[in-house]
Structure 1
Amino acid sequence: MIIDRLGDPTPEPRTPAVGTDTGRAGTAVDLWQLRVDHLAEGDLDLSELDAEERDRFAKPLRVADRLRYGIGHIALRRLLAPRLGVGPAEVAYRREPCPGCGAPHGRPAVDGPPGAPHFSLSHSGDVVLIGIAARPLGVDVETFPLATTVHEVTAALHPAERAEIADAGHAPEAFARIWCRKEAYLKGIGIGVARSLAKDYLGERDPSALPEGWAVRGVPTAGGHAAAVAVEGPMGRVRTSWLPASFVTAASAAGPV
């Protein structure tokens, strides 16, 4: 059941406290977010998913996980389709080589002509986040974790990140902001958390210490969540839009606003 309500406000953005990049030159990034809690499984139009995606959706996942997966993959197809000049069901994907071992299990990419857009997808809690740009990128959204998780995972991070989190009193929000920045970068380079979490600095205090050749910034999102985007090269304009729940239903048009 769709519960888009007339007059229901868009979730109020939460702007990261520090570390935002305001430069205008560089790669433009378009971000879209959807609220998972405004939809039920029966609302989704699964007809545009490919066989692999439908099989994944049919697996005995938790309802919330299945819902996030379905919403994210339907929305991604409908956002990519007009940029590729095809229907959502015709969007095809491939895996790029892993930067660690060279095997084809790296960053997901559009299986299309040269110049096809790069994309990244993340979902957690009540939010799905999708990013599209002309250069490789990664996005991540996370709910604020439990205090025990903060202490357990912080120990594995870069020393400067550990210091920033400690200075913030190990607050779940501070941890989540830094974790999202790290996850976005690791997804952007295509290796994920297989890379040591202590190797790269993705904190908020020292932009000069960020990985060479990449830009990262926090993304305003719904309360109780943190989000970030990383892009190869300098980052330009970042536009964030909230999509209505109806974007992923059978009645939705394929193109975004």
Structure 2
Amino acid sequence: MNDVIIDPLGAPAPAPRTPATGPAPGPARVDVDLWQLRVDHLAEDELDPSELDAEERVRLAGPLRVADRLRYGVGHIALRRLLAPRLGVAPAEVVYRREPCPGCGAPHGRPAVEGPPGAPHFSLSHSGDVVLIGIAARTVGVDVEGFPKAATVREVTPALHPLERAEITAAGETPEAFARVWSRKEAYLKGLGIGMARSLDKDYLGEHDPSALPEGWDVRSVPTADGHAAAVAVAGPLGLVRTSWLPASFVTAGSAGTPA
């Protein structure tokens, strides 16, 4: 399966799907649910932070810019409300932990939920006007990027993999071309759990040569809002990717939050 299902903005959020079963050659494909929200339709005082834990509330009250606080609040409230029904708990009862860093082994790697065996894997990203959340049965990384300034493209492109640089150059070094490559790279690095501690020129995550992608990983660009690029990466072959837009009311005070 190589399908991407796109639910229109404002459509009811679908319930968690039951993955298809049946024999298949090679490693089992993993389906991914992607959830997107627009933050430019919200104000801080509309959010409901009551379900956040102490660490999240400290971060939300910290010296962040208003836009950063809004993105952080929307992302973390939505994540709890999406994970809660899958774990059979209330959003405030979702507990997170950090997996070991693949580089040094310290507990500052990929975030995960404390839960029984088979608990869902997740990844969260926010940039510009969009929050993106991915949930899957296997290790997953997602990233969304607002198109950067031309100066950022010029400064960062030389640090990328040679084949990625070639793709961006062939596309005229446009912010969109850079964002598409960068979102794929960040999704992969977040899936690894090592982030920017890994050299940016070590791995190819471009779109032109799927055979050159890191062994054991599948990466796909996904549709998102205008002026942004987004991608998802999983350990193992990707199956069905479903991307759904959640309404702003999903994270507001007084909302039940649970997808229909």
Q: Name the TM-score, length of structure 2 as normaliser.
A: 0.89
Identity %: 82
Mapped contact 2:9–2:246 kept (Cα < 8 A): no
Mapped contact 2:38–2:248 kept (Cα < 8 A): yes
Gapped regions of structure 1 (runs ≥ 5): 1-8, 12-24
Name the counterpart of 2:173: 170
Name the counterpart of 1:192: 195
Name the counterpart of 1:150: 153
Where does 1:47-196 land on structure 2 (aligned, <5 Å)? Answer: 47-196=50-199
Within 2, Cα distance between the matches of 1:220 and 1:152? Answer: 26
Aligned partner of 1:125: which letter? Answer: G
> Is residue 2:207 matched to residue 1:204?
yes
Instruction: For residues 157-178 of structure 1, give each alpha carbon's deviation from its aligned partner in whole angstroms, at most 9, with x where no partner exists.
Output: 0000000000011011000000
The one of 13, 34, 37 aligned to 1:34: 37
Aligned partner of 2:9: which letter? Answer: T
Name the counterpart of 2:9: 10
Please report how far the alpha carbon of residue 218 of structure 1 lies from its aligned counterpart in structure 2 after TM superposition: 0.5
Name the counterpart of 1:45: 48
Mapped contact 2:143–2:230 kept (Cα < 8 A): yes
Aligned partner of 1:10: which letter? Answer: L
Name the counterpart of 2:247: 244
Mapped contact 1:30–1:239 kept (Cα < 8 A): yes
Aligned partner of 1:242: which letter? Answer: W
Q: Name the TM-score, length of structure 1 as normaliser.
A: 0.90
Mapped contact 2:9–2:244 kept (Cα < 8 A): no
Mapped contact 1:140–1:183 kept (Cα < 8 A): yes
Name the counterpart of 2:235: 232
Please report how far the alpha carbon of residue 49 of structure 1 lies from its aligned counterpart in structure 2 after TM superposition: 0.1
Mapped contact 1:82–1:254 kept (Cα < 8 A): no
Please report how far the alpha carbon of residue 92 of structure 1 lies from its aligned counterpart in structure 2 after TM superposition: 0.2
Please report how far the alpha carbon of residue 28 of structure 1 lies from its aligned counterpart in structure 2 after TM superposition: 0.5
Within 2, Cα distance between the matches of 1:37 and 1:255? Answer: 21
Within 2, Cα distance between the matches of 1:238 and 1:59? Answer: 35
Within 2, Cα distance between the matches of 1:165 and 1:238? Answer: 25
Please report how far the alpha carbon of residue 256 of structure 1 lies from its aligned counterpart in structure 2 after TM superposition: 1.5
Aligned partner of 2:229: which letter? Answer: A
Gapped regions of structure 2 (runs ≥ 5): 1-7, 11-27
SS at match of 2:232: strand
SS at match of 1:155: helix
Mapped contact 1:81–1:254 kept (Cα < 8 A): no
SS at match of 2:241: strand
CA RMSD of aligned residues (A): 1.1
Please report how far the alpha carbon of residue 249 of structure 1 lies from its aligned counterpart in structure 2 after TM superposition: 1.1
SS at match of 1:39: coil
Mapped contact 1:88–1:254 kept (Cα < 8 A): no
Structure 1 runs of 4+ off > 4 angstroms? none
